[in-house]
């Protein structure tokens, strides 16, 4: 039977998650160069259209339309068809007390934000036509199968076999997009003059606005994953807030130690790192463990972004892997350590179940392999339609003009 309170709550959560995708556009837009801000915003905007259409046509049925070998759904509900009259308005057994249509809408928003994250790795150099085709293919090859394997009926990584824990998308959203972004940016190569030009952040207020929208939407992202207005949703909301706050303070402390002063960009990045880190365990870990996760995930991501990336000269332009990929892996392992079955899910190592840490690690490994392999396949197919990367001239004048014929600041006449 439909519970109207739960239904209203998840509808609101879906709206909050939707806000995250344009919020990410502002976050990436501010972090990038002035000549690419339209391009960075467009990467998030076009995905809201493409992602919704794909989800309704084929995404929902592949992710949640039955089960085929624990890896994928079926074609039973192509175009959201194949339901009995009124069935879409009734709850499915695995969805608790909300209508199938509400569950589908909530999950659709996850299918938007996930590919948008990986666009940060290739900012400033990927052909828009290639990006459009790649995102469509990647959703089919990587995201929908992974969503089924973790959350779907009989999913290989979830209740169907491995019984790993991923409350709101550590594997499905963050590790998959972060790893895919890393592989794609390696395929594209570094931006022109990467070793000689300072790629400065062009609009810090945009970054703050994007962070605020992401944090706001993340309450729906994590709390809504309880699929009910209940105690676990309240717990997830609190762990989300606490981990983000701890991540913010930890990054400020690192900046103060290493640079002598805290930075606003660092504080915003720390918030996102804390949010990513708590996502897989938001509804499973005690609040004190969420606080610990936020404090520890910032130095881990900082090391990846500021130290390792520079040492290896990897041009992960806006640090999608360093923040989301690394933060998601860390959060998944922390869930294996500190999950408490009294809150939800299963016990972790700290609560006398060391096997759960092994399950988390194996799930992460499978996710990494699927994301990396799927990205290579999608990039190879995309190349059949044209080059992945823009030409040298287009990159120098900026993707705003070369790919979209627009300038974010038409009255600006200076050098970039």
The H-assigned helical ranges of 279-324 are 287-302, 309-312, 320
Distance CA 297, CA 290 (A): 10
Q: Could you count the other beta carbons within 10 Å of the beta carbon of residue 86?
A: 8
CA 379 centroid distance within chain: 19
Tens of pLDDT along the chain (416 residues) come to 899 999 999 999 999 999 999 999 999 999 999 999 999 999 999 999 999 999 999 999 999 999 999 999 999 999 999 999 999 999 976 667 999 999 999 999 999 999 999 999 999 999 999 999 999 999 999 999 999 999 999 999 999 999 999 999 999 999 999 999 999 999 999 999 787 766 779 999 999 999 999 999 999 999 999 999 999 999 999 999 999 999 999 999 999 999 999 999 999 999 999 999 999 999 999 999 999 999 999 999 999 998 888 888 899 999 999 999 999 999 999 999 999 999 999 999 999 999 999 999 999 999 999 999 999 999 999 999 999 999 999 999 999 999 999 999 987 665 55
Q: Helix, strand, coil proportions of the chain in percent (round to 5)?
A: 70, 0, 30
Q: Could you count the other beta carbons within 10 Å of the beta carbon of residue 137?
A: 18
Domain architecture of the chain: domains with CATH? 4-404 (1.10.3430.10)
Q: What is the pTM of this model?
A: 0.97
Distance CA 176, CA 87 (A): 32
64, 107 Cβ separation under 8 angstroms: yes
The CA-based diameter of the chain, rounded to the nearest angstrom, is 65
């Amino acid at each position: 039977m439909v519970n109207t309170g739960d239904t209203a709550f998840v509808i609101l959560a879906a709206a909050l998650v939707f806000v995250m995708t344009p919020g990410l556009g502002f976050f990436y837009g501010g972090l990038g160069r002035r000549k690419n801000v339209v391009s960075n915003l467009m990467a998030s905007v076009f995905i809201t259209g493409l992602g919704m259409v794909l989800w309704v046509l084929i995404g929902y049925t592949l992710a949640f339309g039955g089960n085929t070998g624990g890896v994928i759904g079926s074609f039973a509900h192509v175009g959201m068809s194949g339901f009995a009259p009124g069935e879409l308005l009734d709850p499915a057994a695995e969805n608790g007390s909300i209508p199938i249509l509400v569950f589908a809408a909530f999950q659709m928003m996850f299918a938007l934000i996930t590919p948008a994250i990986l666009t940060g790795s290739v900012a400033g150099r990927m052909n828009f036509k290639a990006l459009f085709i790649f995102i469509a293919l990647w959703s089919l090859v990587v995201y929908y199968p992974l969503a089924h394997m973790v959350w779907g009926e009989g999913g290989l990584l979830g209740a169907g076999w491995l019984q790993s824990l991923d409350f709101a998308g550590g594997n499905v959203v963050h590790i998959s997009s972060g790893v895919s972004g890393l592989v794609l940016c390696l395929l594209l190569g570094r931006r022109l003059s990467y070793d000689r030009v300072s790629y400065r952040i062009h609009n810090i207020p945009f970054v703050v606005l994007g962070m605020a929208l992401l944090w706001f939407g993340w309450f729906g992202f994590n709390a809504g994953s309880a699929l009910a207005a209940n105690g676990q949703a309240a717990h997830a909301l609190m762990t989300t807030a606490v981990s983000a706050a701890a991540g913010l303070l930890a990054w400020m402390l690192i900046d103060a130690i290493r640079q002598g002063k805290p930075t606003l960009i660092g504080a915003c990045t720390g918030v996102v790192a804390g949010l990513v880190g708590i996502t897989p365990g938001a509804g499973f870990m005690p609040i004190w463990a969420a606080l610990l996760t936020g404090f520890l995930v910032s130095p881990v991501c900082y090391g990846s972004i500021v130290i390792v990336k520079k040492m290896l000269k990897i041009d992960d332009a806006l640090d999608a892997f360093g923040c989301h990929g690394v933060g998601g892996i860390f959060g998944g392992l922390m869930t294996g350590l500190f999950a408490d079955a009294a809150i939800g899910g299963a016990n972790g190592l700290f609560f006398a179940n060391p096997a759960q840490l092994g399950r988390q690690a194996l799930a992460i490994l499978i996710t990494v392999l699927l994301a990396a392999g799927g990205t290579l396949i999608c990039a190879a197919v995309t190349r059949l339609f044209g080059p992945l990367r823009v030409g040298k001239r287009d990159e120098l004048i900026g993707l705003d003009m070369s790919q979209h014929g627009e300038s974010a600041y038409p009255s600006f006449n200076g050098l970039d």
